[in-house]
Structure 1
Amino acid sequence: MASRSAPPSMGLSTLFLLILSSSFCPSRSLHYDAIFSFGDSLSDTGNVRVAGLPYGMTFFRRPTGRCSNGRLVIDFIAEAVGLPLLPPSAAKGKNFRRGANFAYTAATALDFGFFNRRGLGSKLWVNSSLSSQVRSFEKMMPSLCSSTQACKAHLSRSLFIVGEFGGNDYNTAIFAGRSMAEVNSYVPKVMRAIKLGVERLIGHGAVDIVVPGMLPIGCFPLYLTLYGSSNKNDYTDIGCLRKYNDFAEHHNSFLQRVIYGLQRKYSWTRIRYADYYSPTLRFASNPTKYGFTGGALKACCGAGGSSKYNVNLDKVCAKPGSSVCKDPSTYVSWDGSHLTETAYSLIADGWLRGPYAKPSIMQWS
């Protein structure tokens, strides 16, 4: 097959993204009637309109509510299985039979009351939790199918993606200056909320469920800026903050045990853990291998180069004083706490084909 040459201005990552996108064609053996997604800013496709351009600049050419320059993991998955990009569940006049996205930017696993009782209610950006998103799904169900039996049949042929959840639960406390001991105490409660949410969906007929873990937040430019240390031992050999990555690993290990327990309890289902952590850490460890020549620990959109990690809370992405890099495809981080479309495309491929979901989505079709 003849190879295609890239235009002179096209970076390695951009070329790889085009090749990868062209390979996201539906498998003949893969068929889902719909995708239903729950989560936070890693998967919100428009329930919360958080910012204007340059958000959405790369693919959509306009802001859509996605916290990136383009598509998210959920978008690449929908494309791969031959379904439309998921409409936000709050959209008016949409037919949701082929899928809906209930994710809300800044959503938590735990309900508002949990944070309010701890004096953190005012720190939440939205009042959206996993349980409230599942309730929204339950309210939508009568419009999807005509009977309980019909719903179970439809949902058994649908893909459910539940998360990422937990990141904002912990961020709420961390950004408020609470101790890591307190943050650690949230983990079992977050796990219980995720477990209960998945079980509610199984009760309605969900069979094929993906539950993603946390990203390595110690590699986020935002964390590196806010919690930088003069002690070299606080950093990993690639420059990430050790204690925050250790915490994310703890969450992910706990979550995998929960998923294992759910799979054993509901043996007729297919519940898989999806890994955000490992691929993102690989990007940070060897960015040029993946075409990230702009860097892995520096935000593309941010403080106009006025800080080491291009993060300044007075010049956040899309706000006055901020600027955006020339080629987002050469960066891992979009705005300091979310990834670029190119990074999300690589993660999505790992979930679809392995090795970042076991078994991969394509394998268990």
Structure 2
Amino acid sequence: MESLTIHAIGLVIVVKLVLNPVFCLSKCDFPAIFNFGDSNSDTGGLSAAFGQAPPPNGETFFHIPAGRFSDGRLLIDFISERLGLPYLSPYLDSMGSNFSHGANFATAGSTIRPQNTTMSQSGYSPISLDVQFVQYSDFQRRSQIIRKQGFFQNLLPEEDSFSRALYTFDIGQNDLTAGYKLNMSTEQVKAYVPDLLGQFSNIIKYIYAQGGRSFWIHNTGPVGCLPYVMDRFLVTAAQIDKYGCASPFNDVAQYFNLRLKETVVQLRKELPLAAITYVDVYAVKYYLISHANKLGFEDPFLACCGHGGKYNYNRFNKCGGKKVVNGKEIILAKSCRNPSVRINWDGTHFTEAANKWIFDRIVDGSFSDPPFPLNFACRRMDH
């Protein structure tokens, strides 16, 4: 009887190995990460170009402002940690940067397609995805010229790092809100999504043409659950779903994600050597927000760092905002007492605690297509 049981257990293990091809593969050895995106993954690009994200940003983990619009680490930081790589230096930061293990081209406020406004007018970064690609392409070429000259060899990636690297993307959220800021209807915003994804697809193809092979692509989150959206666009009670999020904005995000997934499927056909992982961060973020209390978090719509209003968010007095009273500078938009129980940091971005919770759900491939863990993201389904 005992031998039969052991045989049965062995059979189950063999079946699992056959059904889950990941067990038959060796882990990827990513020597570098090249990241493209917006504030969800900006580790200091916008701060380097336009001024540091003010305190209390960075207070939880870095204990000083660290270029991130959060109290601590972002998803891209946890990705770097899991792959055993240093945190990514922003491409635009000339101070103390080390690019030997990759570079971050993301900037807060970035969009896929260029905006016809200045940053002071709309808040959107001029460093859209096409510019980020130009920066990457220039970095790839010039880093190798400089290495061959014998300069900064320890601070720049080796030549084969570009083909072996993981290319990460988290962008598109700002493209959706940009339309609403121009008073477009939900249908009008949806109408330009195919153009957005056409431009996004081109960037993936350009990187592939320059040797990139492993792509890890986050879809966009539930923008209708962000305090800044609900405050900025005067959401009506009829538009609020049972969990407190604004349905029209989430509908647009889901439409974008549906079309993004279709784009990824098409890219796999056109780029046969590419391993492209689509990661459903929308589902994870929405679950976190809709089950906040059960998961140990407080009100998911109340910003930790802010000043006044229903959501502790005021777009004219954002996190770290100051005011001079009787010649003395006073910080009005301060941090909450315990960011570790908050999901929303400043009305727009997530806290480190929320980012860590989200990362822990996506790292094993549970929300990925194909369902490979992060450290197997160089593998394709046909392997």
TM-score by length of 2: 0.80
**Does 1:139 find its partner at 2:138?**
yes
- Structure 1 equivalent of residue 167 of structure 2: 160
Structure 1 residues 276 and 310: CA distance shift in structure 2, 3 A: same
- Structure 2 equivalent of residue 357 of structure 1: 368
- Structure 2 equivalent of residue 300 of structure 1: 304
**Rg larger in structure:** 2
- Structure 1 equivalent of residue 196 of structure 2: 190
3-state secondary structure, aligned to 2:302 = strand
1:302-317 superposed matches below 5 A: 302-303=306-307, 306-317=308-319
Following the alignment from structure 1 to structure 2, what is the Cα–Cα distance between the partners of residues 120 and 338? 19
Letter in 2 for 1:126: S
Q: Deviations over 1:232-287 (max 9, x none)?
A: x3111101111111110000010000001111221221101122211111111111
Q: Which of 278, 281, 297 is equivalent to 2:286?
A: 281
Q: Deviations over 1:282-332 (max 9, x none)?
A: 11111123221x2212111112xx322111223321103212211111111
By how many angstroms is 1:230 displaced? 4.4
After TM superposition, the structure 1 stretch with the greater mean CA deviation from structure 2, 28-37 or 333-342, is 28-37
Cα RMSD of the aligned pairs, angstroms, is: 2.4
3-state secondary structure, aligned to 1:287 = coil
Could you tell me whether the CA contact under 8 Å between 2:58 and 2:68 is conserved in 1? Answer: yes
- Structure 2 equivalent of residue 260 of structure 1: 265
Following the alignment from structure 2 to structure 1, what is the Cα–Cα distance between the partners of residues 273 and 141? 24
- Structure 1 equivalent of residue 42 of structure 2: 44
- Structure 1 equivalent of residue 91 of structure 2: 89
Could you tell me whether the CA contact under 8 Å between 1:151 and 1:205 is conserved in 2? Answer: no
3-state secondary structure, aligned to 1:322 = coil
Could you tell me whether the CA contact under 8 Å between 2:176 and 2:253 is conserved in 1? Answer: no
Q: Which of 216, 221, 232 is equivalent to 2:222?
A: 216
Question: Number of residues paired by the alignment?
Answer: 328
Q: Deviations over 1:19-58 (max 9, x none)?
A: xxxxxxxxx8342110000111111111112521110000
Q: Deviations over 1:186-206 (max 9, x none)?
A: 211110111001111111111
Letter in 2 for 1:333: N
3-state secondary structure, aligned to 1:295 = coil
By how many angstroms is 1:185 displaced? 2.3
- Structure 2 equivalent of residue 105 of structure 1: 108
- Structure 1 equivalent of residue 22 of structure 2: none
Q: Deviations over 1:157-211 (max 9, x none)?
A: 110002x222212222312333333322221111011100111111111111011
**Does 1:69 find its partner at 2:56?**
no
Structure 1 residues 31 and 289: CA distance shift in structure 2, 3 A: farther
Following the alignment from structure 2 to structure 1, what is the Cα–Cα distance between the partners of residues 92 and 334? 31
Following the alignment from structure 2 to structure 1, what is the Cα–Cα distance between the partners of residues 165 and 272? 17
**For structure 2, which runs of at least 5 residues remain unmatched after alignment?**
1-25, 148-156, 323-331, 379-383
TM-score by length of 1: 0.84
3-state secondary structure, aligned to 2:65 = coil
- Structure 2 equivalent of residue 15 of structure 1: none
- Structure 2 equivalent of residue 226 of structure 1: 232
Following the alignment from structure 2 to structure 1, what is the Cα–Cα distance between the partners of residues 206 and 71? 33
Following the alignment from structure 2 to structure 1, what is the Cα–Cα distance between the partners of residues 198 and 236? 37
**For structure 1, which runs of at least 5 residues remain unmatched after alignment?**
1-27
Letter in 2 for 1:123: S
Q: Percent identity?
A: 31
- Structure 1 equivalent of residue 183 of structure 2: 177
Following the alignment from structure 1 to structure 2, what is the Cα–Cα distance between the partners of residues 196 and 186? 16
3-state secondary structure, aligned to 2:125 = coil
